[in-house]
Amino acid sequence: MQAVAKGSKQAVQAAAQELVRFVNRSPSPYHVVAECRSRLLQAGFQELKETEHWDIRPAHKYFVTRNCSTLIAFAVGGQFQPGNGFSLLGAHTDSPCLRVKRRSKRGQVGMVQVGVETYGGGIWNTWFDRDLTVAGRVIIKNPTTGRLEQHLVYVERPILRIPHLAIHLQRSINENFGPNTEHHLVPILATAVQEELEKEVLMEGTPCDAAAQTERHSPALLSLLCSQLKVKPEQIVELELCLADTQPATLGGAFDEFIFSPRLDNLHSCYCALQALIDSCMAPSSLSQEPNVRLIALYDNEEVGSESAQGAESLLTELVLRRISASPQNLTAFEEAMAKSYMISADMAHAVHPNYVDKHEENHRPAFHKGPVIKVNSNQRYASTAVTEAVIRDIAARVGVPLQEFMVRNDTPCGTTIGPILASRLGLRVLDIGCPQLAMHSIREMCCTSGVLQSIALFKGFFELLPEVSSSMMVD
Ligand SMILES: [Zn+2]
């Protein structure tokens, strides 16, 4: 087990490279869920639909999605009976970004621009001078069937840019740079002159429906989407597009010990949760002695407060847990199950920054390579308690993963996670934990390679050991 704690450099880097691949395929929450879905199908999980009846069987693996941006996957223990507990692991699929407005057509001084809305609490000045693109979903009307269909779209080349204003025109920029998010964050797509030159190609044979779309979005943007999707502009009914950096995630540093990447918050936790669940039930008999349901819940809309049909605040989790617990023989199975369940809320943590050491209280300074960080806040911004911490410490010791602690300074506001939401909604025992990273909510964040392998080992250990460890500690 010590091998996991230290991890050979090769194993650490292989795990980190797989996270890098996952992030690069996931430029929007819809792509995150699509990537998870394809990995789950490959690992033998069966897709369920919320609209259909579920026939849940012990030792089987399932998943369900909502809005194509939230996903719940679970493996039912071979010994599971209604009323048994859930081993839950939650994370979020969304990240702060700019999103294309519903009427995005904008322009000044001969530039074709795209109106965007800020989503979540991004560090918006990091979006300047980056090679940007769009990714998300488009609702298409199928001309033969007349049906509305959702298609994912990802333009894999730099098409947009928000340039800085030259320092000569704003001498004080290095003292205080905070853009006005309405006026200064409007990316440039093309020049009007060039768009005019290309117009014949862009809008070839465009009927009047499409003219309505071109009133809302520039022909240049519509044409890019249409050529990706191989559809005509008049088929586009609606779109939800995120802006994303085209620079791929990569390993970095003199010794390749870091990951430089967009969206580490919180695709790092999504990936590690997914991989741990898949690994924990890979072997044929891995579920045979398991009494619990092993479940991961990857929610959309955490960055904007979780209040949506697919957010952690919604009834989705309860509905899914009720359906899995349902039994005509035991009408209080769900209530019994909640009291036996335990949830890890996995979200990234703030590593201590070498240039801003004082921002962390001296006893709580999470560092790279020293393990996932337990997050504690008496004011319940995090949901960890002595009980849930004790359980994870026991599991971490058994699988040889080191842990660190974080508590925010008293004079600094504390972030929060889905942990307190699910603890209060369902009465679950919840632990908040996450890997240390720097530059959280920047367009390009940074963490260490070792956190990936450590998290997967800890989460897999959690799924395999929780029933035993938690039965040795009941606090009513
Ligand atoms: Zn987060």
The answer to whether residues 99 and 242 touch, using CB atoms and an 8 Å cutoff, is: yes
Residue 305: left if φ>0, alpha if ψ -120 to 50, beta else—which one?
left
- pTM given for the model: 0.95
Q: What is the mean pLDDT of the chain?
A: 94
In the numeric block, the tokens 């602690």 are attached to 405
Strand order in the sheet with 349-350: 250-252, 258-261, 445-448, 436-438, 349-350
The answer to whether residues 96 and 121 touch, using CB atoms and an 8 Å cutoff, is: yes
Which residues make Cβ contacts (< 8 Å) with residue 218, sequence separation at least 6?
Answer: 104, 105, 107, 112, 113, 114, 189, 190, 195
For the cut 60, the answer to whether the pLDDT of residue 206 exceeds it is no
Residue 3 is predicted with a pLDDT of 45
Which residues make Cβ contacts (< 8 Å) with residue 335, sequence separation at least 6?
Answer: none
The answer to whether residues 219 and 250 touch, using CB atoms and an 8 Å cutoff, is: no
Residue 82 is predicted with a pLDDT of 97
Q: What is the whole-number distance in angstroms between the Cα of residue 379 and the centre of ligand 1? A: 19
For the cut 50, the answer to whether the pLDDT of residue 2 exceeds it is no
Q: What is the mean predicted confidence (pLDDT) over 447-460?
A: 98
The answer to whether residues 164 and 129 touch, using CB atoms and an 8 Å cutoff, is: yes
Residue 177 is predicted with a pLDDT of 82
Q: What is the mean predicted confidence (pLDDT) over 140-144?
A: 93
Q: How confident is the model at residue 213 (pLDDT cuts 50, 70, 90)?
A: confident
Q: What is the whole-number distance in angstroms between the Cα of residue 346 and the centre of ligand 1? A: 8
Q: What is the whole-number distance in angstroms between the Cα of residue 438 and the centre of ligand 1? A: 12
Residue 178 is predicted with a pLDDT of 86
Residue 209 is predicted with a pLDDT of 61
The answer to whether residues 4 and 401 touch, using CB atoms and an 8 Å cutoff, is: yes
Q: What is the mean predicted confidence (pLDDT) over 153-159?
A: 97
Residue 217 is predicted with a pLDDT of 95
Q: What is the pLDDT of residues 238-280, one digit of tens each?
A: 999 999 999 999 999 999 999 999 999 999 999 999 999 999 9
Q: What is the whole-number distance in angstroms between the Cα of residue 441 and the centre of ligand 1? A: 8
For the cut 60, the answer to whether the pLDDT of residue 205 exceeds it is no
Q: What is the whole-number distance in angstroms between the Cα of residue 455 and the centre of ligand 1? A: 16
Residue 91 is predicted with a pLDDT of 98
Q: What is the whole-number distance in angstroms between the Cα of residue 265 and the centre of ligand 1? A: 5
Residue 422: left if φ>0, alpha if ψ -120 to 50, beta else—which one?
alpha
Q: What is the pLDDT of residues 70-104, one digit of tens each?
A: 999 999 999 999 999 999 999 999 999 999 999 99
Residue 474 is predicted with a pLDDT of 74
Instruction: Look at 58-67, 203-212, 329-338, 388-397 and tell me which has the smallest mean pLDDT.
Output: 203-212
For the cut 70, the answer to whether the pLDDT of residue 224 exceeds it is yes
Under DSSP, the state recorded for 12 is H
For the cut 60, the answer to whether the pLDDT of residue 302 exceeds it is yes
Q: What gap in Å lies between CA 52 and CA 40, rounded to an integer?
A: 20
Q: What is the whole-number distance in angstroms between the Cα of residue 417 and the centre of ligand 1? A: 7
Q: What is the whole-number distance in angstroms between the Cα of residue 175 and the centre of ligand 1? A: 28
Backbone angles phi, psi at 196, to 5 degrees: -65, -45
Q: What is the whole-number distance in angstroms between the Cα of residue 48 and the centre of ligand 1? A: 27
Residue 208 is predicted with a pLDDT of 52
For the cut 80, the answer to whether the pLDDT of residue 201 exceeds it is no
DSSP string for 418-453: SHHHHHHHH--EEEEEE-EEESTTSSSEEEETHHHH
For the cut 60, the answer to whether the pLDDT of residue 290 exceeds it is yes
Residue 207 is predicted with a pLDDT of 57
Q: What is the whole-number distance in angstroms between the Cα of residue 270 and the centre of ligand 1? A: 10
Residue 476 is predicted with a pLDDT of 77
Q: How confident is the model at residue 310 (pLDDT cuts 50, 70, 90)?
A: very high
Residue 132 is predicted with a pLDDT of 98
Positions of E strands within 250-406: 250-252, 258-261, 293-299, 342-346, 349-350, 373-375, 404-406
C-alpha torsion sign, points 189, 192, 193, 198: positive
For the cut 60, the answer to whether the pLDDT of residue 33 exceeds it is yes
**Which residues does residue 374 pair with via DSSP β-bridges, in sequence order?**
405, 433
Which residues make Cβ contacts (< 8 Å) with residue 196, sequence separation at least 6?
Answer: none
For the cut 60, the answer to whether the pLDDT of residue 4 exceeds it is no
